Amino acid sequence: MAQLDETLTMLKDLTDAKGIPGNEREVREVMKKYIAPFADEITTDGLGSLIAKKTGKEGGPKIMVAGHLDEVGFMITQVDDKGFLRFQTVGGWWGQVMLAQRVTITTRKGDVTGIIGSKPPHILPAEARKKPVDIKDMFIDIGASSREETESWGVRPGDMVVPYFEFTVMNNEKMLLAKAWDNRIGCAIAIDVLKQLKDTDHPNVVYGVGNVQEEVGLRGARTAATKINPDIGIAVDVGIAGDTPGVSEKEAMGKMGNGPQIVLYDASMVGHKGLRDFVTDVADECNIPYQFEAIPGGGTDAGTIHLTHNGVPALAICIATRYIHSHAAMLHRDDYENTVKLIVEVIKRLDRETVDKLTFE
């Protein structure tokens, strides 16, 4: 494995952490450790979203830069007599990426390793081999022989299950493979934005946020934004990379390495036009590459941030990522670094007058 620098170590710690919606504590602690040195104060909302505040100028516009802490995973719903586990998906999964994959069950007594069971092809009729298995028919095998043995290991309904995958730097060291890029990369960007602004003079109050429960309906963004009451909202998330075989430009325009994706439209919001133009003007001025994206089939935390109080100009900025909502996804380090740079340059150029002008555009 490649030697991990400071940034890669942070990314590894964030992606290795386990946290499905409603179970974000471990990820929150990792994010808190990394963002605390650059924040004036750290608070949480009632659902557990992390809010790190950094004041450039007291009373200045409040800028919310938000990733989400949670990842897609599963929850145990039932233990059968033979010790096999039934489960519920938490967040969006496609059944074909799940069978025979290793998972970790987090219990009160510690972690338990399991695998999502599958039938060998030898016993499947030809027709069955072509047919996807329904998620509701899947189970997790932890090597137990009875319900009692399973329970003695601490496993019980409600326990969190996460994909198991080791953070990996690819042969092309710009390519990073890990579980939970959706959306630990957004948390990393929020951390790095505060880090870059540490000794920078700017007239704003910046909030680096790790929202909870995005994957089940953008829930933590609603409560965190209500607490902050921002003037500007920027949600940082993963987007779709449409640069692999079988994906047409009509389905996904994004390409890894071509810069942050500026989301024009998604199922949760229309990107604020004034803020969008401001961000792309800054990118042009600073020679930061970017690409446009429209995601009619998905939303981001910007969708609830922009509906806070009497409305907040908001924009989603995404990182083109391959294979999201599976055990492992891949992204490009340059896109991550360019996104941090872009948001930092945008914040440097915002002030009360600029924000007021944007609001009415």
Q: 328: closest CA among 196, 169, 198, 209?
A: 169
User: Catalytic: which of 58, 149, 166, 214?
Assistant: 214
Distance CA 221, CA 213 (A): 8
Q: Which residues of 105-124 are buried (b: 16+ CB within 10 A; e: fewer)?
A: bbbeeeebebbbeeeeeeee
CB 232 within 8 A of CB 351: no
Domain span(s) for CATH 2.40.30.40 in the chain: 74-163
Domain span(s) for CATH 3.40.630.10 in the chain: 6-71+179-359
Residue 345, classed as helix, strand or coil, is helix
Q: What is the CATH number of domain 74-163?
A: 2.40.30.40
pLDDT by residue for the chain (361 residues), tens only, comes to 568 999 999 999 999 999 999 999 999 999 999 999 999 999 999 999 999 999 999 999 999 999 999 999 999 999 999 999 999 999 999 999 999 999 999 999 999 999 999 988 888 888 888 888 999 999 999 999 999 999 999 999 999 999 999 999 999 999 999 999 999 999 999 999 999 999 899 999 999 999 999 999 999 999 999 999 999 999 999 999 999 999 888 888 899 999 999 999 999 999 999 999 999 999 999 999 999 999 888 889 999 999 999 999 999 999 999 999 999 999 999 999 999 999 999 999 999 999 999 876 6
Partners of 269 in the beta sheet? 266
Tokens of residue 144, six digits: 């137990």
Distance CA 140, CA 138 (A): 7
At how many degrees (to 10) do helices 273-285 and 352-359 cross? 130
Neighbours of 265 (CB within 10 A): 14
Query: How far is the CA of 343 from the CAs of 175, 193, 321, in angstroms?
Result: 22, 7, 19
- What's the pTM? 0.96
Q: Which CATH number fits domain 6-71+179-359: 3.40.47.10, 1.10.8.590, 3.30.565.10, 3.40.630.10?
A: 3.40.630.10
**214 catalytic residue (yes or no):** yes
